Structures are given as C-alpha cells and as structure tokens.
Amino acid sequence: MLNPLSGRFLILTTVFVMLAEVLIFVPSIARFREDYLLNRLERAQIASLALLADDMLSTELEAELLENAGVFNVVLRRDEMRQLMLSSPIPNPIEATYDIRNASPFMLIGDALHQLVTPDNRIIRVIGAPVREAGLLIEVTIETAPLRAAMLDYGVRILLLSAVISIFTAVLLFVAVRAFLVKPIKGVVGYMQRYAAAPEDARGIIQPNAGVIELREAEEALLQLQTELTQALKQRQRLAQLGGAVAKVSHDLRNILTSAQLFTDRIEASEDPLVRRLAPKLVNSITRAVSLCEGTLAFGRADEPAPTLTLVPLAAVTADIVESESLAETGVEVEIRSEVPADLVVRADPEQLFRIIMNLVRNARQAIAATGKSGEVVIAARDEGSVWLITIGDTGPGLPRQAQENLFTPFQGGIRKGGSGLGLAIAAELARGHGGHVALASTGPQGTVFEICLPKGDGTV
C-alpha cells in the first residue's frame, strides 16, 4: 500500500519530536525532583530558624511548622554539633538516605526514575546544604507519596505540552513540505504524465521554475530529457516515413529496371560497334541499380528469415563472389582474389554468408574504383579455435572519419559519394543473426580491412 510523502513526513515528524521530548523529559523530571527536595530543605531550615529565635515553642506550633515544611523532623548541623531542631513521630522506618549536595546528574536521574516506578509510600532521609551558608548541613525526613504525586503531575504536564508542541510543529512542517516539496514534485510528475500521453504536444515539456536547488536540477534534467526525446521521436518518425517511401520506390524501380535488363539483352545483339561497346556498361549500371533496390527492400523487411546453419565450404562461396565481382566494369583494374584455404568449412547460412561477403567486397571494389587507380581486394580466412575469422582487405584510400563513426548505420554509413550505407548495415545484421559480428579491423592510406567473426558454438553453455 502506497502512502503519500506528506503523510509519512507528518508521522515521522511527530514521532521524532516526541522522541526528542522523551529525551528531554528524563533530565527534566530529575531536575524537578531535585528542586522539590531542595524546597523541602529550605522550608525546614526556615522552620528551624523560628525555633532558634524562640526556644520555648509549644508542641502545637512545632507540629504546625513541620507540617508546613512537609517533613517529619529537621536536623541542623551548624558547627561540629549535630542538633535535632524539630521532630515529630515517624510512621515507618527510614528506608533510604539521599545526599543531594554533590550528587551527579546520572545519580539524580537514576533516583528520579526509581521514584517514578516505586508506588509505595516510603520514608526517606534527605541531606543537603543550608541556604546562605547557615550551617554545615541540614537533613530532613519525608515521605515519598507527595513527592511521587508531584512528579507524576509534572510529568503529565510535560508530556501534554510536548504533544501540543509536536503536533503544532508537525502541522507547520506538513504545510511547508506540501508547499515546497510535494506540490513541485506533483508538478514534475504531471509534466511527465502529460508528455508520456502526448509526446508531440509541446505543452507537456516542463518549464523549470522551482525555487529549491535539487528540484530545479531535476526539472532541468527532465527538460533536457524531454527535448532530446522529442527530437529523437521526430527523427525516428521521419526515418520511418522515409523508409516506407524508399521501400515503395525501390519496389517499383526494381520492376522498371528488371524490364530494362530485358531490353539490354537485345541491345547486346546489335551489330553496331559503338552499341556493343557501351552495352556492357549499361548492363552493369542497371544491375547495380537493381542490387541497390533489392538491398533497400531486404533491409526494410522486418521478417528477415533466421539463418539456416549448415556446413559450408567457404572457398566455394568466395570463388562465386570473385567471379561475379570481377565481371563488373569499373574503368580501372581492380584485382579480386580469394586466399581462403580449400579445406576450410564454416557453419553458416550459405545464402546469407554470400551476401555478407559480397557487400564487403563490393564496397571495397567501389572504393578503389572511385580513386581512378588500380588496386586489389583480398578475401582471406582462418580458423581461430573457437571462431572462424574472415577478412576482406583492400588497397583503397581508407575510410573518412565520418564514415567510421556511422559505419553500420543505414543511410548514414555510406563510404562512397552517393552511397546509401545499406551494404554494411545489412552485412552487420546478417552476421549478428549468426551470433557473430562484422568489425573494422584497420583503415588508412594503405587500405582497409574488415573482419567477419563467426562463432563455432551454438550459443549454449
């Protein structure tokens, strides 16, 4: 069951104030007992002074003096002699003697608590110092029932006063907490709820105005989070819309280009030398456009099938890629070769593995061709014990910094000018489906090397 913050604070404040009052009550009640006993000693001393003034006091007057002093007898030691000044019959034997002249605070507290928990009416002797140095000591004999009654009355008044103070303090703190903490926190929660319900509504974005530093920091952090999240949601929405549009365009464009491929077959049969020379370039351009459309559609599909893992001779896969990519007309000499051992067998989906390596090889070939200089692309592989490591290295110009930061991000990781960046994104996604990954091993003016890591295990422990 959830309790409101202000309610908990009210209860805790009341409890803590009462605890503080209890801690104050103990020394207070001890102080009250000491004052009570000192008062009885002072009254007794005054009564004894009346006797000193007139040695012939009647029995009735002596009893009245003792009753007014609240004691049974008074013993005053003025010099070296101990003298019984006033006396009356004591109903019971004396059970304890308390000397409060040099009593420590802990002793006074202990005696006071003992008095509170002892309901019996006892006779005790109390020794103290006379006021105004009117002697060496004064001692009286009193009963404890009136003392305990006075202590209980004082304690009840203290506890009632403590309760009033604690309730009043708790109410003030309750109002203050609601005004300075609960209300601003509810405001922040309200902004969060409104923003969660309608992120596109700018009214749900908080405007920091809290006067408390910690709450102001929380509001500013929420403002930054809402601003960044709003921008991310808008960008994601635009990308989703763009992705849908690109998928539709790519689908129709692929159909158009497929029809264009049929016409190029007849163009290649032309006897015109110029047409025969230009036809292969046209075919290659259309083929690349179809491949790009297919790649866009493949990336946009949310139902990319899971890989069907089988044992695949890697050399056969790379040989097909070398043969396919070597037919592309780039205008410069780009040598593509495979150095994969003939007996190396990997566990992968053959079609998806072909696409992974093909995308990386094609990117490398295009990067070299863009420089206008000759170069080479080398496919190699080796067994690393727990994984198979396939490398695709080229002698191209290396990757620019911006491309390195967004290598596997679709529509942002394009390496060559005009590229979409889908090739690397698709390759990375397919590799993750195998439990592996694609990584940039090195890049620079001497060339670039990508690594494909495929685990040998099935992911179970």
> In sequence order, what DSSP letters do the residues of 163-215 get, joined into one string?
HHHHHHHHHHHHHHHIIIIIHHHHHHHHHHHHHHH-TT-GGGS-----SSHHH
Domain end (from 171, 204, 235): 171
In a domain, 17, yes or no: yes
DSSP at 418: T
| Token duo for residue 456 | 């040998």
Residue 263, SS3?
helix
Nearest CA among 36, 46, 105, 35 for reference residue 74: 46
Q: pLDDT at position 4, please? A: 67
In a domain, 209, yes or no: no
28 sits in which H/E element = helix 5-53
In a domain, 76, yes or no: yes
In a domain, 283, yes or no: no
Backbone torsion region of residue 386, taken as left when φ is above 0, otherwise alpha when ψ lies between -120 and 50, otherwise beta: alpha
Q: pLDDT at position 300, please? A: 54
Domain end (from 171, 196, 214): 171
Widest CA span in the chain:
163
**Beta-bridge mates of residue 125:** 97, 141
Yes or no: say if 283 and 268 are a contact pair by the CB < 8 Å rule. Answer: yes
The 437-444 sheet, strands edge to edge: 334-338, 375-383, 387-394, 447-455, 437-444
pLDDT one digit per residue (tens) for the chain, 461 residues: 445 666 677 777 777 777 777 778 888 888 888 888 888 878 777 777 666 555 555 666 666 666 777 777 777 776 655 565 666 778 888 888 888 888 888 888 888 888 888 888 888 888 888 776 666 787 888 888 888 888 889 888 888 887 787 778 777 877 887 777 778 778 888 888 887 887 766 677 787 877 777 778 888 888 888 788 877 777 777 667 666 666 666 656 665 666 566 566 666 666 677 766 666 666 666 666 666 666 665 555 544 567 888 999 999 999 988 887 877 666 788 899 999 999 999 999 988 899 899 989 988 988 888 888 889 999 999 998 889 999 999 998 888 887 777 787 765 545 554 445 667 888 888 898 888 999 999 998 889 999 999 998 754 33
Yes or no: say if 176 and 15 are a contact pair by the CB < 8 Å rule. Answer: no
In a domain, 329, yes or no: yes
Residue 92, SS3?
coil
Instruction: Tell whether the torsion through CA atoms of 414, 420, 421 and 427 is positive or negative.
Output: negative
Q: pLDDT at position 156, please? A: 87
Q: pLDDT at position 378, please? A: 95
Q: How many domains does the chain have?
A: 2
**Beta-bridge mates of residue 395:** none
In a domain, 111, yes or no: yes
Yes or no: say if 427 and 353 are a contact pair by the CB < 8 Å rule. Answer: no
Instruction: Please tell me the distance from the alpha carbon of residue 222 to that of residue 209, in angstroms, as a whole number.
Output: 12
Which domain covers residue 141, as residue numbers?
5-171
In a domain, 244, yes or no: no
In a domain, 445, yes or no: yes
CATH assignment at residue 372: 3.30.565.10
Domain end (from 171, 199, 230): 171
